[in-house]
A and B are shown apart, each in its own frame.
Chain A
Amino acid sequence: MIGGTVILVVLLLALFAPVVAPFSPDQIGVGRRLSSPSVAHLLGTDEFGRDILSRVLFGARFTLYIGVVAVGIGLACGVVIGAVAAYAGGWLSGLLMRAVDLLYTFPDVLIALGLVAFLGPNLTNAMIAVGISAIPYYARVTFGVVLSERQKPYVASAQVVGASHARVIVKHLLPNVLPPMIVVASLGFSAAVLSAAALSFLGLGAQPPTPEWGLMLSTGRNYITRAPWLVIGPGIAIFVTVMAFNVFGDGVRDLLDPRQRQRML
């Protein structure tokens, strides 16, 4: 599992950033301004003379944090909405899923943009906005999975031996619904990282001097002709992380069950 290995490396680098990083991410003037990559500064320095490698390493913390929180919010709300809609059926199902469909018609980033404009631009709000904008995705996938599971005879069998709704959901449905959701979440993680980076790039997420990758891209683009390494470092970091989660998600999906490909679409 290449994806899993890369994720592990990113995770370790983020955890041990203070140890691994050669300089403090916020320290101005550790090198000359806008110096190109060298032995002292492997990824060069930015417009304030900060070490880009150090900033990228510390940035991994923010990126993973954003991913976890945003996926957590989206997954928690989406799973509840989707599961309730699928298990209850009837008008409640129609109401919930049409609301979700409505939300689904807007691009994720547009919803997140609107929310951040409303809540105010900072990293926390950006994470919340990205999480909320992903709810329709998780709700629809959960809805489909629960819908197909609940009509299987083992659910009827549980009801016939006297299992309560709570027991059916917790003991029977959840263990069968969660594995495909793990796959969905790991794919959603990369989408969340990208969305958050996009918001930061637009100045609606992390604020300077936070070493967040999207924000670094945004400030670095002013110097793109003179000092391209300002965007290359964080750009590659985003690319590698997103790629790793995508590959990981696909791998887990194949591992669990090839049938689930159809359910997820």
Chain B
Amino acid sequence: MSSSSALAAPTTPAALIVDGLRKEYPRRRSLFARQTPPVKAVDDVSFAIAPGETLGLVGESGCGKSTLASMIMRMITPTAGSVLVGGQVVATLLPREVLAYRRKVQMIFQDPYSSLNPRIRARDLIAEPLRIHRLAEGSAIQVRVVELADQVGLAASSLDRFPHEFSGGQRQRIAIARALAVSPQMLVADEPVSALDVSVRAQVLNLLADLQAQRSLSYLFISHDIGTVAYLSHRVAVMYLGAIVEIGPAKAVLRRPHHPYTRLLLEAVPITHPRQRTRRREVLRGEALGASAAGVGCRFAPRCPMAAPRCLTEEPLPRTLEANRVVTCHFAEHTPELPRGETIT
């Protein structure tokens, strides 16, 4: 929790504060094996999101992004630390307060093919939150459903269809309408476009951007694709093996990454211009070790091209380098700049 004050950088009262959040899963004890340390899925993560701001959270599969989202959505209980919304600790809300919380923070899931109940019509999927929270009664429900559908670009005439009769992009629009039904102040979007065709990704991202402009929504935008994050985010947090290794304004982080992991992620983004493809690029090698392996030293050291002996013995602490930029690396100042023309903002 020591890092909480350093990583949080709100200028206005934050819409969401994540403070020293941890989630550990105990290993199954076996009769013969020695007891192993618990898996640290999320390891002391802290950040804040301002009203109307988008924080992009990037990291490869298994780094704890979704676990973090689940803790914010109160689907799983943190081992330590807290999620704060409106001054209240989310994990200890009373049952009646939980409903009020659900009206403040909503979520969009990764896969619109499985996150919509296949046996419920679009109309009723969008109406469900209205009914649960009693935000409309009787015929007003249908009026509101059509309104919401219109806001996300769904035709009112299509609302009597079942989810499987929609395309992926349309389904994600249903999911967005469902989340917007309670007029939340914050949306947690867990990889909202990664299950969609590339051709419709931009449409859904634009819709999210438009909605933010209209409603001053805050987003926690989770993705493994740094390019998608760059498009929508004001600030970017890069996560590796359960911890945030770099956080800062999106443009600054993407133009001049300070953490070697961020740099490698950016180098992995395909270059669109053919003439720029000649240079040999540095590639991220190997796989992230089990999260429990990160005990001594820097968690990224085993894969880091810049790793020095110090990295294997001493765990780096989060350091503030420039305005609002925090990096967890001993040698952040020495991370080489990206080659010209490779920035994606």
Contacts and interface: CB of A to CB of B under 8 A. Distances in A.
A175 interface: yes
A264 to B, nearest CB: 19
A179 B118 CA distance: 13
Nearest to B190: A153
A152 B117 CA distance: 9
Interface residues of A, number: 17
A209 interface: no
Contacts of B224: none
B51 interface: no
Q: How large is the interface on B (under 10, 10 to 19, 20 to 34, 35 or more residues)?
A: 20 to 34
Given A161-B178, A162-B129, A156 B75 contact: yes
B302 to A, nearest CB: 32
Contacts of A152: 114
Contacts of A162: 98-99, 102-103, 129, 132-133, 182
A158 B109 CA distance: 11
A1 interface: no
Interface in B196-236: none
B73 A160 contact: yes
Contacts, number: 60
A158 B128 contact: yes
By DSSP majority rule, is chain B's interface helix, strand, loop, or mixed? loop
A178 B70 CA distance: 29
B159 interface: no
A167 interface: yes
Nearest to A162: B102
B69 to A, nearest CB: 10
A65 interface: no
A163 B115 contact: no
Contacts of A163: 128, 132
B109 A156 contact: yes
B16 to A, nearest CB: 15
- Most chain B CB within a 10 A radius of its CB, from A152, A154, A175: A154
B119 interface: yes
Interface in B123-147: 128-129, 132-133
A167 B175 contact: no
A148 to B, nearest CB: 12
B342 interface: no
Interface in B86-122: 98-99, 102-103, 106-107, 109-111, 114-120
Given A161-B132, A162-B99, A162-B132, A176 B117 contact: yes
A153 B115 contact: yes
A156 B116 CA distance: 10
Given A162-B98, A175-B119, A176-B119, A157 B175 contact: yes
Contacts of B178: 157, 161
A17 B175 CA distance: 55
A125 B21 CA distance: 59
A161 B182 contact: yes
A157 B132 contact: no
A135 to B, nearest CB: 27
Interface in A154-188: 154, 156-164, 167, 171-172, 175-176
A152 B113 CA distance: 10
A226 to B, nearest CB: 58
Contacts of B111: 153
Contacts of A158: 117, 128
A209 B33 CA distance: 66
A158 B181 CA distance: 13
A159 B107 CA distance: 11
Nearest to B98: A162
A175 B124 CA distance: 14
- Most chain A CB within a 10 A radius of its CB, from B106, B115, B129: B115
Given A175-B119, A176-B119, A160 B106 contact: yes
Contacts of B175: 157
Contacts of B119: 175-176
Contacts of A154: 114-118
Contact of B115 (A157, A167, A171, A175): A157
Contacts of B99: 162
A172 B128 CA distance: 11
A159 B117 CA distance: 12
Given A156-B75, A163-B132, A175-B117, 14 more contacts: A153-B111, A154-B114, A157-B109, A158-B117, A160-B73, A160-B75, A160-B102, A160-B106, A160-B107, A161-B179, A161-B181, A162-B98, A171-B128, A175-B120
25 contacts: A153-B110, A153-B115, A154-B115, A154-B117, A154-B118, A156-B115, A157-B107, A157-B109, A157-B116, A157-B175, A158-B117, A160-B73, A160-B106, A161-B106, A161-B128, A161-B129, A161-B179, A162-B99, A162-B102, A162-B103, A162-B132, A162-B182, A164-B132, A171-B120, A176-B118
